[in-house]
Amino acid sequence: MSVESADQEEISREQKYFDVAWDARERSRQTLGGAAAAAVGGKAAVAVGRAAREHLDQLGDPDEAVAMGRFDSDDGELYYVGKRVIRDDEGELLVISWKAPGASPYFTATYDDPKGVVRKRTFEVERNRILSFDDVVFADLAARVDDLTALENEGIDDAVLRELDAARTGEMRDIVQTIHAMQYELVRAPLEQLLIVQGGPGTGKTVVGLHRVSWLLFNHADQLAPSDVLVVGPNPTFTRYIRQVLPGLGDHQVEHRDLRGLGPQPGTGRQEHPEVTRIKGEPRMQQLLMRGLVQRIRFPERAAQLDVGTVASFFRPEVEDALRRSINQASSYGAGRTAMRSWLTAATTARARRGTQASAAVIEAALERLWPSLTPQVFLRDLFGSRDRLLSAAGEHFTAAEVAHLFRPASDRVSDEGWSTADVALLDEADMLLTGSVTQYGHIVLDEAQDLSGMQLRSVRRRSRSGSYTVLGDLAQSTGPAARDSWDDVVTALRHRHPAAIAPLKLGYRVPQQVYALAAQLLPHSAPNVEAPQVVRIGPAEPDLREVPAGDLGPETVRAAREYAARGLFVGIICADEQRAAVVEVLNQHDVHYQDTRGGTLGASINLVGATDAKGLEFEAVVVVEPTSIAVEGAHGLRLLYVALTRTTKHLTVVHSGDVLPVLGQTQPLDVPSLQGNQKPPPKPEPGLDRFSADFAASLGSRLAEDIATTAQPRLWTAIVTALADELERRRTGRAP
Ligand SMILES: Nc1ncnc2c1ncn2[C@@H]1O[C@H](COP(=O)(O)OP(=O)(O)OP(=O)(O)O)[C@@H](O)[C@H]1O
């Protein structure tokens, strides 16, 4: 019998199994669909209906193949592995879920440690029809270990290469069938840790992080619900790009947010100087905001007494005494305000002039003069819009030049105020100070984490209930005002209860060898201590380098993009801001249909992407415009260029009038952390991370100390400062001083 006909017979045998499993799954679908439809009426029926619908969601798409692979164990059993579990009518397992512990040999078997697996079979399918299959027989591999190719050695087989050759669209897909053993170890790493995955471009960090979520939800269902998981990405385009992966794996309610949406008010695209962004990102901004908020609480200047309508009046000392008590007990600005309202209401009732009574509105008006009601937006607009407020909130922790950078004219209406991405983290901090609460999650995935500022990391941290995170990033792609050369400060900023570990991913799946060979020349200059990934495959073509006069950059770029698009490829044009206008002009001249990704979506054909916004994305063909312009965009331009050159799965064209690789100066050496990095003792808890009032009191103390020197009420302020110092001492030692 020929090999082909033997294979055909095997395919027919396997197809019978696939058909049986398909029938079983579809019978379940009908039963569950019936139960969901019939469940009308009381509470019990609603619960039954909900459970039936949840199970239906778990069954996946009717078009989905029942299994992606199988392994034969050395005890003679065969196990089919699929995206979801399938049982027959008697409850016998036909297909095990890839997330079940029983499926682990499928992913972890290697020739030198086959984990009891004799054969691993991967199916190529169209809907539920088997087209072909690939077998790995571990005993055969072990027998010819000296002849193993590098790919076989790394466990890269035809199924992986086929997957990598598959067409790309604007949506990331799952890689369940071909998860690599090293990736699988990260997918199933313990939940209770701060796990940082460091890996070069295209090593699968994002896709591994998402599969990890699905695996954790399946295996820790008692601790973690889908709505208890948050995935944070760098921008809306990226979030859209990845958002179908988890639903495709059966996990529907995981929350996806991007940095522009991680606060009470989304960023509105306000542009600002990188130096302003840098200052706004620094953790000392927390102190500035705190002091800025404390300034808002005070007895009205120059007033001798506080009138509550015509009902009652209070002299300064007793009001300030009440303010001090409210501040001392406050867990947030809002809670302190509530306490102050209670005092004012009771005190007004006690002192009401005969025959009068204060309405709630009158009390509120008096309270507003002492302790104004604020939203994060109003507070920040007022603070940034006043040099005086900024100067006194900045204290000695900011230079005059930095304060000048932070100042901006306030808009008349708060709804007209523009917000930058850096502002979002400040609004979030302000919201925390004002309300003392935020929705927390049991697990957070943070992608492209190498670029986050200190304030953005604080936003992420406060959303973590216990310190269980998957942090994904690449120091060699770290750019922007908060660029870093080490993960140390990220660990310090994020960690709380659980230990931290840094794990590498080393195989580069996305970028073909010929393209990576070009991009990798930047590494010694831009990130000398970061290890380059080992590329897993050779692409269809060498990079196409097109040198043109500067005036032809736009036309040549559009020509190259249209050539690729005409071949049905998914295309990204990546350029610096400096070149954008020229490219857009030519695209419009030629009536080219394209998608500007700043709108938050990827189009099916040609996309125009800024170099920074290209992070995390991939295309089948990329046209990089004028590398020298990208290399001067921001302080880490060479890293940005490295990002741009590593976005393609197949083809790369570089259109340039200057150098292709402008590697002139040397950069600072990088400190790449290792897995042993988790031996460090936990960082000391920063004040203010967990409780508002201790920090609040501390900053109030320093603010008031300044006031003692400058204002006319030294006696009272001294009393307040003393009381606050006592309070801090009590918190520190647990007893009254
Ligand atoms: N085991 C695998 N099998 C098949 N494809 C894979 C595998 N691992 C990664 N890939 C593919 O490689 C590409 C890159 O993956 P991903 O975007 O997760 O990488 P990344 O490390 O996050 O990249 P970047 O640093 O650029 O953000 C994707 O198309 C992904 O599907």
Q: Which of 159, 130, 158 is nearest to 65 (CA)?
A: 130
pLDDT for the residue 83: 94
- φ and ψ at residue 436, rounded to 5 degrees: 75, 10
pLDDT for the residue 275: 95
- φ and ψ at residue 81, rounded to 5 degrees: -115, 130
Would you list which residues are annotated within the binding site for ATP? Answer: 199-206
By mean pLDDT, which of 233-237, 638-642, 659-663, 698-702 is the weakest? Answer: 698-702
Question: Does ligand 1 have an atom closer than 6 angstroms to the CB of 557?
Answer: no
**Section 126-138 average pLDDT:** 94
Q: Are 614 and 572 in contact (CB under 8 A)?
A: yes
CA–centroid distance, 513 to ligand 1, in Å, is 15
pLDDT digit string (tens) for 281-307? 999 999 999 999 999 999 998 898 999
pLDDT digit string (tens) for 674-713? 211 223 333 333 333 233 334 444 444 444 334 333 333 3
CA–centroid distance, 116 to ligand 1, in Å, is 28
Segments of 300-401 assigned E as strands: 305-308, 312-315
Q: Cα separations (Å) of 40 from 44, 54, 312, 557, 677?
A: 9, 16, 59, 60, 56
Closest atom of ligand 1 to 201 CA is 25
pLDDT band for position 2 (50/70/90)? Answer: low
The one-letter code for the residue type at 598 is R
Q: Are 329 and 693 in contact (CB under 8 A)?
A: yes
Q: Give the range with max mean pLDDT: 209-223, 657-671, 691-705.
A: 209-223
CA–centroid distance, 205 to ligand 1, in Å, is 6
By mean pLDDT, which of 45-59, 331-345, 471-485, 633-647 is the weakest? Answer: 45-59
Question: Does ligand 1 have an atom closer than 6 angstroms to the CB of 163?
Answer: yes
Q: Which of 223, 210, 220 is nearest to 251 (CA)?
A: 210
pLDDT digit string (tens) for 459-517? 999 999 999 999 999 999 999 999 999 999 999 999 988 999 999 999 999 999 999 99
Closest atom of ligand 1 to 163 CA is 4
CA–centroid distance, 333 to ligand 1, in Å, is 45
Query: What is the spatial distance between Cα 250 and Cα 266, in angstroms, rounded to a whole number?
Result: 29
Query: What is the spatial distance between Cα 58 and Cα 461, in angstroms, rounded to a whole number?
Result: 31
pLDDT digit string (tens) for 95-112? 999 999 999 999 999 988
Would you list which residues are annotated within the binding site? Answer: 199-206
By most ligand atoms within 8 Å of CB, the mutation choice from 168, 175, 243, 570 for ligand 1 is 175
Q: Are 704 and 721 in contact (CB under 8 A)?
A: yes
pLDDT digit string (tens) for 707-719? 333 333 333 333 3
**Section 27-47 average pLDDT:** 77
Find all residues with CB under 8 Å of 224, minimum gap 6, and list them.
Answer: 191, 216, 217, 442, 443
Query: What is the spatial distance between Cα 297 and Cα 285, in angstroms, rounded to a whole number?
Result: 19
How many residues in the chain? 737
Closest atom of ligand 1 to 180 CA is 1
Question: Does ligand 1 have an atom closer than 6 angstroms to the CB of 612?
Answer: no
At 497, list the tokens.
Answer: 């209860």
pLDDT for the residue 688: 33
Ligand 1 atom 8 nearest Cα: 204
pLDDT for the residue 733: 53
Which 3 state secondary structure label does DSSP give 608?
A: strand
pLDDT reading at 157 higher than 90: no
Ligand 1 atom 26 nearest Cα: 201
Question: Does ligand 1 have an atom closer than 6 angstroms to the CB of 207?
Answer: yes
Rg (CA), the chain: 30
- The residue ranking higher by pLDDT, 145 or 37, is 145
- The residue ranking higher by pLDDT, 147 or 646, is 646
Q: Are 616 and 238 in contact (CB under 8 A)?
A: yes
Question: Does ligand 1 have an atom closer than 6 angstroms to the CB of 164?
Answer: yes
pLDDT band for position 671 (50/70/90)? Answer: very low
Residue with tokens 């992407």: 609
Segments of 287-382 assigned E as strands: 305-308, 312-315
Residue 192's H or E segment, with its range, is none
pLDDT for the residue 37: 72
Closest atom of ligand 1 to 177 CA is 3
Q: Cα separations (Å) of 590 from 505, 547, 587, 608, 653?
A: 43, 22, 5, 15, 20
Question: Does ligand 1 have an atom closer than 6 angstroms to the CB of 204?
Answer: yes
**Section 574-595 average pLDDT:** 96
* Long-range CB contact pairs, 53-60, < 8 A, 24+: 55/28, 56/29, 56/32, 57/250, 57/252, 58/84, 58/250, 59/25, 59/28, 59/29, 59/32, 59/84, 60/84, 60/250
pLDDT reading at 670 higher than 60: no
pLDDT for the residue 60: 81
Query: What is the spatial distance between Cα 56 and Cα 45, in angstroms, rounded to a whole number?
Result: 16
CA–centroid distance, 617 to ligand 1, in Å, is 10
Query: What is the spatial distance between Cα 85 and Cα 559, in angstroms, rounded to a whole number?
Result: 49
Closest atom of ligand 1 to 509 CA is 12
Query: What is the spatial distance between Cα 499 and Cα 574, in angstroms, rounded to a whole number?
Result: 39
By mean pLDDT, which of 163-167, 365-369, 389-393, 455-459 is the weakest? Answer: 163-167
pLDDT for the residue 225: 96
pLDDT for the residue 677: 26
At 440, list the tokens.
Answer: 């927390």
Ligand 1 atom 16 nearest Cα: 204
What are the beta bridge partners of residue 199? 505
Q: What whole-number percentage of the chain has pLDDT above 90?
A: 75
pLDDT reading at 561 higher than 80: yes
CA–centroid distance, 572 to ligand 1, in Å, is 17
Q: Are 280 and 455 in contact (CB under 8 A)?
A: yes
pLDDT for the residue 51: 76
Question: Does ligand 1 have an atom closer than 6 angstroms to the CB of 178?
Answer: yes
Find all residues with CB under 8 Å of 70, minimum gap 6, and list them.
Answer: 14, 78, 79, 80, 81, 120, 121, 123
Class of residue 599 by CB neighbours under 10 A (exposed 0-12, middle 13-18, buried 19+):
exposed
> Average pLDDT of the chain?
88
CA–centroid distance, 509 to ligand 1, in Å, is 6
Q: Are 657 and 578 in contact (CB under 8 A)?
A: no
Q: Are 335 and 436 in contact (CB under 8 A)?
A: yes
Closest atom of ligand 1 to 505 CA is 21
**Section 551-570 average pLDDT:** 97
- The residue ranking higher by pLDDT, 729 or 172, is 172
pLDDT reading at 664 higher than 60: no
Would you tell me how many other CB atoms lie within 10 Å of the CB of residue 478? 25
pLDDT reading at 423 higher than 80: yes
pLDDT band for position 4 (50/70/90)? Answer: low
Q: Which of 335, 371, 330 is nearest to 694 (CA)?
A: 330
Question: Does ligand 1 have an atom closer than 6 angstroms to the CB of 175?
Answer: yes
**Section 652-675 average pLDDT:** 64
Q: What whole-number percentage of the chain has pLDDT above 70?
A: 88
